[in-house]
Amino acid sequence: MIKKILVANRGEIAVRVMRSCREMGIKTVAVYSDADRKAMHVRYADDAYHIGPSPSNESYLVIDKIIDVAKKSNADAIHPGYGFLSENPAFADRCKEEGIIFIGPDSNAMRVMGDKISARNKMIEAGVSVVPGTKDLREEAEILEAADRIGLPVMVKASAGGGGKGMRLVKQREELISSVRAAKSEAMAAFGDDAVYIEKYIGSPHHIEFQVLGDSHGNIIHLFERECSVQRRHQKVVEETPSPIMTPEMRAAMGEQAVMAAKAVDYVGAGTIEFLADNNGNFYFLEMNTRLQVEHPITERVTGVDLVKEQIRIAEGHPISFKQEDLSQYGHAMEARIYAEDPENNFMPSPGLIQHITEPLGLGVRHDGYVYEGFEIPIYYDPMISKLIVWGKDREEAIGRMRRALYAYKITGIRTNLAFLDKVFQADDFVNGNYDTHFIENNIDFLMEREKFRGNIENIIKITTFLHHQAKLEGGVPMSDDSDNNCSESEWKSFGKRRGMLKI
């Protein structure tokens, strides 16, 4: 039995894993960089160890440091969360060599499914439907011939890619070679591997993924789908389950192929099979993520399964605690990713000090976050600060509940995408379930309306607050009767300070 788990991560996912560990009576160990000395996961864990400077390549990505802390703290196991070392086969191998349980799949599954070309070939062998495409391409003549055979438009993709890096959409034949060169250069800079391949471009795709679990006893099951088509620069922003386009027949077929894909690599642990689907019910394997996904809470909400607890039990050698026929979807769940970013400035990250935060509460609302008043969001990591998850008895109720939760969610001191998200849940295409991966670009004018309005209102409040304060200093009529209660400053100024509107 696992008694102590080192969580090799930070932020909301570290806190989320630790919560399940606490429910199971398992001690937790946090690791932290200079920037995260006061982070929530450090406060929440039973033990915490410093592992180096703020940049992740000097702290969270250094395998030797993580292993050293695991030994010092007598941790039985390591949970990698997502990102950082979660899909690093060398890290999984090192844990095995040191006698530490790695809560995830073995390194072979990571290597096969982590490389898009090898994963594609493996899926073809397993009989899983894949997008028409190629293997690794090196010669320009090969590239041109492949594009002619597949038919334009095509997507050029980096084999080791992710997060939209090393990807190019090519619509014209004369753009193909330059796009391949650019993708190879970007892939080499980002991943140290310039291998690329070509896939047929699916014009109006839905990004649908299936959650899978496998154990060491040969059992593999799926926990239904998640619709992840609200994306910006190939990064997910909003997810929901069930998918608005799903039929029982399509769900059964995709679920069967998801299980086939996992079985092809003898998968053990939690993973995700990602598909592209069109409006005609056709779907194709895209890739596999050999880890827990950011959006896993919506699956937990509609199935009642704690995926982290299941990961831990599987790592202990237990079989999956339920069978496929035991599972069903109940109600509708949605997740919105809250980012410290400025939508009006091309969604640039907005690190800084959290001056005020009011987290949403109420029926059907779950908030997975890691920030608090007085915490300074560092510049070194992903700008996602929390995930807002809601559940409703149906899709309509879930949308209403999400809008209510977004309305209640207040953060000052930094810019966030909260108002932008509220517009997502108002957009007709989303409300009607009539959207694909082009949703944001197709609705960008509507989505940005609130941002412009909010910016004007914030400026008005700041100016008004400042002018009222100045008027009082100059002997004007005070906005409140300070003389009776001996207040040292006006209520306007105090309010402005509390809400981050004044820095004087």
Residue 291 annotated as catalytic: yes
Residue 51 DSSP one-character state: -
CA distance 406 to 409: 5
Q: What are phi and psi of 286, to 5 degrees?
A: -110, -55
Quote the distance between the C-alpha of residue 45 and its chain's center: 22
For 478, the enclosing helix (H) or strand (E) is: none
Tokens 């640039």, residue?
Answer: 348
Q: Is the backbone peptide bond immediately before 153 cis, with ω within 30 degrees of 0?
A: yes
| Vertex 275: Cα angle to 274 and 277 (nearest 5) | 155
By DSSP bridging, strand 101-102 and strand 154-158 are unpaired
Check: CB of residue 127 under 8 Å from CB of residue 171: no
CA distance 301 to 390: 8
The count of other CB atoms within 10 Å of the CB of residue 318 is: 14
- Closest C-alpha among 36, 310, 300, 261 to residue 126: 261
* Tokens (6 digits) for 485: 């209660």
Check: CB of residue 278 under 8 Å from CB of residue 286: no
Residue in 111, 120, 291, 301 annotated catalytic: 291
Catalytic residue ranges = 291
